[in-house]
Amino acid sequence: MTAQLIDGKAFAASVREKVSTHVAQIAETHGVTPGLAVVLVGEDPASEVYVRSKGKQTVEVGMNSFEYKLSAETSEEALLELIETLNADTSVHGILVQLPLPAHLNESLVINAIDPAKDVDGFHISNVGLLGTGQKSMVPCTPLGCLMMLRDYHGSLSGLNAVVIGRSNIVGKPMAQLLLGDSCTVTIAHSRTKDLPEVVRRADIVVAAVGRPHFVQGDWVKPGATVIDVGINRIPAPEKGLRDDGSVKTRLVGDVDFDAAVSVAGAITPVPGGVGPMTIACLLANTLTACCRAHGFAEPEGLTA
Ligand code: NAD
C-alpha cells in the first residue's frame, strides 16, 4: 500500500485564496481591510525569515501588514507599551509577537498583554481557556492547519482514535483539544509515555509534534492510519554536497520516518510541503476571523475550528 499524500502546499494555497476572496468582499461591502501587526524583538535569523514571509503573504491576500522590528535590548516596558498601542489601534485586527523572545523578556506576561480578540496565535490564557472549554476562541495556527487537513481528508473525525505525540502548549495540547472537539478519542503521548509504539499502533490518526528527526517508525503505524507530521528538523545531507565554506549542506525532515511510514499509512503529510505551509495560511485566516468578529461581519466558512 502507498499512502495518499496530503499536499499542505496546495491546501495552504486554497486557504489563502479563500481568505483573499473574503478580504476583497469585506473591503468592497464595508470598506474595511483586515490588518496584521507582527512584532519581532532581536535579530534571530530564523525569526526574521518567518516574519518576512508572514508580511509578504499578508499583503498578497489583500490585508494590511504592519511590522515592528525592535532591538534585542528592548525593555519589557517598551514592548508592553507597543502592545497597548496596537490593542487600541482599530486598523490592527491581529497582533503576533514572534517567539522566542530574548531571555530578559517574560514571554507569558507579554503574550497575555495582547487583547485576546487580536491574539491571532491563540496563545493568550483566555483563548487557551476558551478552547479547553469548547468555546469560540482564537485557535493556534499549526494545530488549526492540521485539523483543516484532517477534516478535508476524513470528512467526519467522530469516534476515531487519535494519538498526539508531544504536549507543548503551541502544538500538542491545542491539537488534542481540537481533536476532542471533533469527537475523537484522544491520547496525548509524551517523553514519559510507556511503550509508545504500542500506543501509536492503536491510532487511526497520528499527529507527531516531537522535534526529533525520523522518530516515529513505520512499524508503529497502524495500516491505513492518517499521519500528520508537524516536525521540522534540519539534518546533514552529504548527498547534496558542500557549501562554499566547506560545511555539509542540510535538508528538512519531519518527526516521522516518511519512507517507511508511506507504505503503511493510508494518508500522510510530507516534510517539507505538509503542515509547514498551513501555519502561515492559518495565521491569515485567523486575522480575517478576528476582523470579522471585531466588526460583527459574517465569518467565512471552513477557516476556524
Ligand atoms: P516542544 O519541544 O515544545 O515539545 C516536544 C514534545 O515532544 C514534548 O511535549 C515532549 O514531551 C515530546 N517528546 C520529546 N521526546 C519524546 C519522546 N522520546 N517520546 C515521546 N514524546 C517526546 O516542541 P513543539 O514546539 O511542540 O514542536 C514540535 C516539532 O514541531 C518541532 O520539530 C517544531 O519545529 C515543529 N513545529 C512545526 C510547526 C510548523 O509550522 N510546521 C510549528 C510549530 C512547531
44 part of the active site: no
Cα(155) to ligand 1 centroid in Å equals 27
* pLDDT value at residue 132: 97
Ligand 1 pocket: which of 230, 275, 278, 284 to mutate (most atoms within 8 A of CB) = 230
Fold match between domain 31-115 and domain 141-276: yes
103 burial level (CB within 10 Å; 0-12, 13-18, 19+): exposed
Judged against a pLDDT cut of 90, whether residue 121 lies above it is answered with: yes
Q: How confident is the model at residue 130 (pLDDT cuts 50, 70, 90)?
A: very high
Domain 31-115: state its class: alpha beta
List pLDDT tens digits, range 142-152: 999 999 999 99
The rounded radius of gyration (Å) of the Cα atoms in the chain is 20
Pair type for strands 250-253 and 233-236: antiparallel
For 141-276, give the CATH class.
alpha beta
Least Cα distance to 92 among 285, 290, 296, 301 occurs for 290
- Residue 287 near residue 36 (C-beta atoms within 8 A): yes
Distance 104 CA to ligand 1 centre (A): 24
The C-alpha cell 499536499 sits at: 7
Distance 33 CA to ligand 1 centre (A): 35
Would you kindly state where each structural domain of the chain is located, as residue ranges? 31-115, 141-276
Q: What is the pLDDT of residues 159-201, one digit of tens each?
A: 999 999 999 999 999 999 999 999 999 999 999 999 999 999 9
121 is a catalytic site residue? yes
Q: How far apart, in whole angstroms, are the C-alpha atoms of residue 260 and residue 159?
A: 27
pLDDT of residue 189: 98
- Residue 135: Cβ within 10 Å count: 9
Looking at per-residue confidence, does 156 or 1 come out higher?
Answer: 156
The C-alpha atoms of residue 123 and residue 119 are separated, in whole angstroms, by 7
Q: pTM value? A: 0.98
- Look at residue 48 and tell me whether its pLDDT is greater than 80: yes
DSSP letters, 4-46, are EE--HHHHHHHHHHHHHHHHHHHHHHH----EEEEEEES--HH
